[in-house]
Amino acid sequence: MNSLGSGEAAALTAAALWACSSLFYSRARLSAWQMNFGKNVLASGLLVCHLLIWNWVSETAIFQADLRKFFYLSLSSLTGIVIGDTFYFRSLQILGPRRALMVATTAPLFATAIGWLLLKEPLTQESLVGIFITLSGVILVVSERSAAAESAGHFPAPVSIGILTGLGGALCNAIGATLSHMAMHQSVQQGSSGRDALEATVIRVTVAAVFSILALTLTRRLVTTARAAFDGKAVQVYLPAVICGPWLGIWMSQLAYRNSMLAIAITLTSTMPIFVLPLVRIAYGTPITLRGVAGAVIALAGIYLTVAGQSSSNAASAVSGSATTEFSERSLK
């Protein structure tokens, strides 16, 4: 049995950070698009500063990504951050943190299907069982009781809309994770340090900010959206979420995509509902019941099985890597 590796630890850290950010985002009085635009612009500034400091200390070039890696990270940004996060924010506004995160746990199912169909990623029976046990525990936790009171009610809509936008966000984030995984695979083969994960995060978030600006410019909504997104009171509400989510959270997720298999990384990052339990207890007074604790234990058992199963698939991972490279080369032709 394997213990947690750097990729798995980074994935769990990302889940904890995203759980924190979801509570801040749910309180912001902004539309989903305004919130996504604001967080992309602010996060890109933070990340560029982070990368510049890293490069200054390590005396390395600012950007080392080749055209192929930049291409896949840009596509990942468009699908996962620009479109996927907008859908997720809308779901979060309608359903509240716990129910929105429950819908978001469908992302591993989408990712597993994508990894199997397109990347030919191997999954052992043990890992597959672990994935479904993890999801069962997570769903048990977040479906314990109605969480309607946790929704801020700023932009109400039918629950069905919240579920559909949540599923759309999960699908887009699974596609974005797949593209990011494909971009990061070459870095692993070349033996790069963790710096490339930070650079990948900078590319993804900065490209998302540029995409957002271009879209708003074309629709003539840039000025009005920027005024709302950068209002002083609004920024105070969601700035902590920007720090936890698109800065530190996405950086950790890039490390996870780089150092572990796609289905495993996205499963572990989907344990956000486990981490959000004590947070909603503090923020909303939601009690932590025996059922909630049992669900957490089941999910953690599934996580252990998922990670343990990775050790028996190391040989098959090389096959997955060659298939990833082959698929990438065909797509660029």
Q: What is the pLDDT of residues 59-80, one digit of tens each?
A: 776 677 788 888 999 999 999 9
Query: Count H helices, E strands: the chain?
Result: 16, 0
pLDDT at 240 over 80: yes
- Check residue 49 and give its pLDDT: 92
User: Residue 322 — very low, low, confident or very high, per pLDDT cuts 50/70/90?
Assistant: very low
DSSP string, 39-61: HHHHHHHHHHHHHHHHHHHHT--
- Check residue 83 and give its pLDDT: 95
User: pTM value?
Assistant: 0.78
DSSP string, 122-155: ---HHHHHHHHHHHHHHHHHHTSS--GGGS--SS
Instruction: Give the tens place of pLDDT for each residue, 95-137.
Output: 888 788 878 877 777 777 777 777 676 777 887 888 888 888 8
User: Residue 325 — very low, low, confident or very high, per pLDDT cuts 50/70/90?
Assistant: very low
Question: 110 with 172: CB under 8 angstroms?
Answer: no
Instruction: Give the tens place of pLDDT for each residue, 260-294.
Output: 776 677 778 878 888 887 887 787 777 777 877 78
Length of the chain: 333
- Check residue 190 and give its pLDDT: 46
State the Cα–Cα distance between residues 48 and 36, nearest whole angstrom. 18
Instruction: Give the tens place of pLDDT for each residue, 147-202.
Output: 555 666 677 888 889 889 999 999 998 898 888 877 766 554 444 455 677 888 89
